[in-house]
Structure formats: C-alpha cells, structure tokens
Amino acid sequence: MILCDEKNLLFTLQTKNTTYQLKADRYNMLLHTYYGPRIAGGDLSYRIRGMDRGCSPNPDEAGLDRTYSMDTLPQEYSSCGVGDFRLPSIELELPSGSRSASLRYAGYALRPGKYSLEGLPAFRGGEEAAETLVITLRDAAAQVAVELYYGVFEDTDLITRAVRVVNQGDAPLRLTRCASLCLDFLRADLDLITFDGCHMMERCPDRTRLRSGVQGVGSVRGTASHQHNPFVVLCDHEAGEDYGLCYGAMLLYSGSFEALAERSQYDNARLVMGVNPYHFCWTLSPGESFTAPEAALIHSPCGLGQMSRQFHRAIREHLIDDPCAGDRRPVLINNWEATLFTFDSDKLLSIAQAAAPLGIELFVMDDGWFGARNDDNRGLGDWWVNTQKLPGGLESLVPRLKDLGMQFGIWIEPEMVNEDSDLYRAHPDWVLRIPGRAPARCRNQLVLDFSREDVRDYVYAQISAVLSSADVRYVKWDMNRSLTDVYSAALPPERQGEVYHRYVLGVYDMLRRLREDYPHILVEGCAGGGGRFDGGMLFYTPQIWCSDNTDAIDRLKIQYGTSFCYPVSTMGAHVSVVPNEENGRITPMETRGVVAMAGTFGYEMDLNRCSEEEKAIIRRQTAFFKEHYDLIQRGDYYRLTSPFDGGPYTAWEQVSPDRTEALVSVVSGSVRAAQSFLTLPVKGLDPQRTYRVNDELILPGDVLMSAGIPLPQFPGDYCAYQYYLRAE
C-alpha cells in the first residue's frame, strides 16, 4: 500500500511487516525519513534534526541557516558536487564541463501494478499484487530529470527501486555514475554482510561492523562474478537467524556492479548500489534517457531467517518465469563428468539407459557436441551438430532418448568463441578487442561482442536452428570467462564507456528471445558455475548452476551462503562421483544425495560404473525427491546451523506453508571418539500440533522446537540423515 500526502509531500510505503517513508522538505529536497518495522503512519521527519556542522555547506535556499546541510541530511537519492561529500548516487559531465548534480522534488505519480523496465529484468506484479510510485527529481540548471521508481509488494515485504535519467536539455551530456539504490540510515551501529569467494567456493558470508569511511564489494569483470555477489545485508550487531533488524538489498544485474556502505563522520550510514562506474560513461543526447537496473529491498524485524524466507517467496512468486510452473522439474543427469569431450551417440545412450530405470527423467548433453569441439581449444561459435559424434544429428538422438522415457537437454555457450573456429575466421572483428593489441585469452577463448545486434542475430540463428531440430526441453547457458579488452568495433570512441553495460543488455535481449521463442524450454544459467548467480539472470533462467564444485561438504557452505537471498529452487545441485575431482574427498552416496536435494537435484556421473548398491540408493533418492518435491522446492527454508561454525553437523529444514509437514536434513562433519549425545531443535512448526517423526517418534510441535530431535551417534565422517515430520 502506498500513501501519498500531497499537502505535506509525504510518501509512505506500507508492506505487511514494514514501513518505508520519504518526504520532500521545505526546500524540495527529497529526504528519507524511515525504513523499519511497520508503524501506523504519521510524518516521521521529526527524526531529522539539524545543527551547524563545521565544513558542511548550506544550499542557497537555506539562506543564513547554517543548520541545514545536504552533507548531513538523509537523502533519498544523493547528488554530487553541491555539498554532500558522502557517496553519490549520480555523477554527470554536463555540456559546460562541470560535474555536479543538484536534484529537487518536481512531482509524483501513483500507478496500480508493478512497473517494468525496457530491456532489463524486474520483479513482476499485477494490480492485485503490487503498486508503483514514481517520484521525479529535477536539476533545473543541468536540465536533467531523475525518475525514481518504487514497486511495493505488500504480502512479501518487498520494495523495489529503479532509476531513469532523462536529458531535458538541448545538448548531449555524459552520465558517469547512476546508482539504482541509495538508502540512508540515521544510525551506523550496523554490521555489513557480503557474500564472497572464488571460482568453486562462491558466496561465503563475510560479516563485519561498519567502520568509519567506505567499505563494500563489487565486480569489474563484466559479470556479477564468483568473487562477490550483488546481494548484501545491513543488520544489528546482535542480529541472528531469529532476532534483530535486518536489511537485505539485491541488485538485479548480471554485469559489473558495486555495493558500497559508508559510515559518516556523524555516525550515520549510507548504502549505495548499482552499475559499477568502472569504465562506465553513457552519452545522453537531448531527449534520451538511461535506465539503471532494479534493486530489491526486504527489511526483517525478526532476523536473517525471516529476511531470507521473504526473499525466497518474492523470487519464486514475482521474479522467476518457470516453464514448469505448477509442475515438477525433472530429475536430470548430465554427461560432463562422465565423458568430458569424448563421447558419441552410443556412449550417451548407454548412460541414459542406465539412468532411466533409476527414476532420472532428463538427459543433458554437455560441451563437445558441436563443430570441431573435441577439446576446449576449438569450435566455440560453430553451433551446428557434429554428425561424426552424433550421426543423424539431434533428429536421430532425441527420439531414442524419448523411447527410454527421457527428455533431452543441451549445453551452449553463446557469448564465447575460439580463434580456431569458422565463426572467428569469418568475423574476427566480432570479438571484444582493443585496436592494435592482442587480446587476453581465458580457457583459450575470446568474448563475442554481444553489445552488437548483428552478432547476437547470427549466434541466435545458429542455436535456434539446433533447438528447432528436435524436442529440446532444457538448455544450460554457460559463460566461462570474465570480460577483458572491452572495446567494440561498432561504437565510436566517445561511446566505448557504454560497452560493458550494452554487453549485459545484449545478453538479456538474447535470453528474452530464447524464452519467447521456446517457452517450453527450462533454461539454466551458468558462468563457470556460480559466476553469474544474480537476480538479473533469474528473471530469464529459473535456476542457475550453483558452483562447479560438486563436493558435498564444500557445497554445504556454498549453498548455505546462497540461501541468504536465493531459494532452493534456483540452486543447480548434482550428485557427482568420488573421490571428488576438485578436492579428492570421499563422501557417501547418501550424503551427496541429501546435499543435492537442497537444490534442483540431479546427477553427473557414468551410471554404468555404479554398483548395484549405489543404483539402489539413487533409485531411493529420486523417489524421495519426487515424493517431497513441493516441500523441498517451495517450503519455507530454515538454516538450523552454520557449516562455518565448525560444529559436529550442519542442518537445515524445509517447512510447508501450512506447517503440516517438514523435512530436516543433517550432515555430520569429522567425527571424534566419545561423541556427545546431541539433540537438534527445529523451527517453524505449529506449537499446537503433534508431529510424527519418520514414523518412529510422536511429539508436540513446541517440544520439537524447544527440546529437539535426538540425533544418532555418527558412525563416521560426513554421514547424512533426514527426518520427515508430518502433523497428526
């Protein structure tokens, strides 16, 4: 619900559990007055007080009033060069050469339903689910308008923000920074949580207290990156899973980003989030506009767990467009770890023949099926079926898989090219490459210039022909390197600062075409695993390969960190062989299955090499996953312990929305002699109901949440247990 007080220029955004308020003051400065637990309303600008602060300038409108300064006010969208020395939200290079912006309130509009952003991902919502507020700010001297968009989803406590900058003058100007989110706090006693790591160890939580000055994370890799995720949390020092004020902020963007928090000289805090200004410069001709990506906010008065569950629900209900919506996604097997590049139709069919009787429903053919792709040094860009490996093409292979009762999926990497390819030999100017300089390689591949429509059209036509040749039900879209040598042969020198962002827009454009032309295909995102795990990709790809690291014990940490924002249904997770190819660890098949069930669930192995005992375990796992699919994929998620704490086990839980059933999963760590007797308190149950635990134990919900489930003595390292709870 959005309340607009026109007389006092006061705007209050109400969700089920939170209130967000902004106000244009007597000088038409747009101030942020409150964001926190839901309150009845009223003008909360009384919280903003002024005094004469040394070296804090006063705007001309304030006259001789030294107590009024932009340097100390909580602003809704911070400016630059005119008296606020904290993090700016916008930076401009005006025709005069000046680099300042002084924004004043100029009007508002209220609309039913959720706004959309042309060419950019955004949360979806009809009139019954959301409302939109648009606040217009204007710099009269610069002749620039800044439109602030707010989307309010009352039921999920979600507030979205986006920004559109319009050149209203008669000369071009250059935009060098345009943040999507500015959030000011009248306090600074907060912790900042970021989600960091590296390839094969993504999104590990890092928590630190705000210190004086600026701190934060970002990416200049052209992708959201393995190293830092475009999701951060600000929270009370004492905030935990079940208590404390928490503010989560997610940027729906798949390119270079930054998320910066500043603790100011007077112990206020500011969070600014948006496109990274590194190599960013966007020219706006008269009348043209630039739209910044959407940012999403959720505030939880009740700890990190509630914040996560609200994000999960909002993402499932209002961001993801799932071709399997209402149905169950199939359990898949991917051939990559079984075959690498060395396979043919017979080898693939032999794996499928072993998989089908075990309850596996989708066969995914990974890298190596196209062009001269016999290793990772050649063939990328030549998107036609290698008929030496696959005689008769997909037209022959797919019907044989369907005869086994299996659907078919395929791997692609559209954004990349090898120099040893027909595509590169014909169009060497289609790659990102600085004139006169040899480009850097990674995985011996170069990056196609997806800022160019002609490049995208060519690649899409090739891939579309393949997808149309057979009944393809799944596509894994991969991207295996960061961007370097970022220069487009199709843009003039003064527009090279637009290439990074235009590249991301090009990726979104091609994904949009793919989803529109093949609405039945489930697309899974991937970027060397989890290098582009963000809300922007989830708008187009309902699930993303969580990490190239498939070791179950490492995955406990990766999936734990991912869960702070992203739901289980988005996390691509598979069972692979042991010893694990990345770290050599050996874990039981049961444990690998339990961990993979905390994601989308599938297998990466040659099932012909499995023992009969292992096949029996797989058959039980697939049957269990299908039986409890709705609970696992759509239930409320609770982190019961942290794998980073070094405790004897890691545990998590899914609870159905009506609280009639729950699934508790436990994985032990390294065991020791003389183990203690352990009990695990669970969460989210109805305290008034009685629950049957694995048909063995019957206890009231309040007892299970307070006294817990008794755990067994772990017989060895990395054992897994699952407890299914059903209300009587």
Phi and psi of 69, rounded to 5°? -145, 135
Of 102, 162, 109, the C-alpha closest to 135 is 109
DSSP states of 482-512: ---S---TTS-GGGGGGHHHHHHHHHHHHHH
Rg (CA), the chain: 27
CA gap 299, 154 in Å, rounded: 12
The two beta strands, 246-251 and 231-236, are: antiparallel
One-letter amino acid for residue 93 of the chain = E
**Residues 134, 147: contact at Cβ < 8 Å?**
yes
* Helical (H) or strand (E) element with 454: helix 453-467
Q: Please count the other Cβ atoms lying within 10 Å of the Cβ belonging to residue 39.
A: 13
Relative orientation angle of helices 394-403 and 345-355, to the nearest 10 degrees: 20
CA gap 352, 346 in Å, rounded: 10
**Residues 543, 476: contact at Cβ < 8 Å?**
no
**Residues 279, 239: contact at Cβ < 8 Å?**
no
Which alpha helices (DSSP H) does 492-611 contain, by range? 499-517, 535-538, 552-562, 589-596
Tokens at residue 593, please?
């299955």
The two beta strands, 407-412 and 416-417, are: unpaired
Classify each residue of 374-399 as buried b or exposed e, where b means 16 or more C-beta atoms within 10 Å of its C-beta.
Answer: eebebbbbbbebbeebbeebbeebbe
CA gap 400, 503 in Å, rounded: 39
The two beta strands, 602-604 and 575-576, are: parallel
Of 178, 320, 302, 174, the C-alpha closest to 248 is 302
CA gap 412, 466 in Å, rounded: 11
Q: Is 427 left (phi over 0), alpha (psi -120 to 50) or beta?
A: beta
DSSP states of 199-266: TTEEEEEEEEE--BEEEEEE--SSSS-SSB-SEEEEEETT--SSSB-EEEEEE--SSSEEEEEEE-TT
Q: Please count the other Cβ atoms lying within 10 Å of the Cβ belonging to residue 710.
A: 11
Q: What is the dihedral of CA 687, 693, 697, 702, to 10 degrees?
A: -10
**C-alpha dihedral sign at 235, 236, 242, 243:** negative
269 CB-near residues (< 8 Å, 6+ apart): 184, 185, 187, 188, 190, 210, 234, 261, 262, 263
CA gap 49, 67 in Å, rounded: 9
* CA distances in angstroms from 635 to 58, 629, 657, listed in the order given: 52, 9, 6
List residues with catalytic annotation: 534, 614
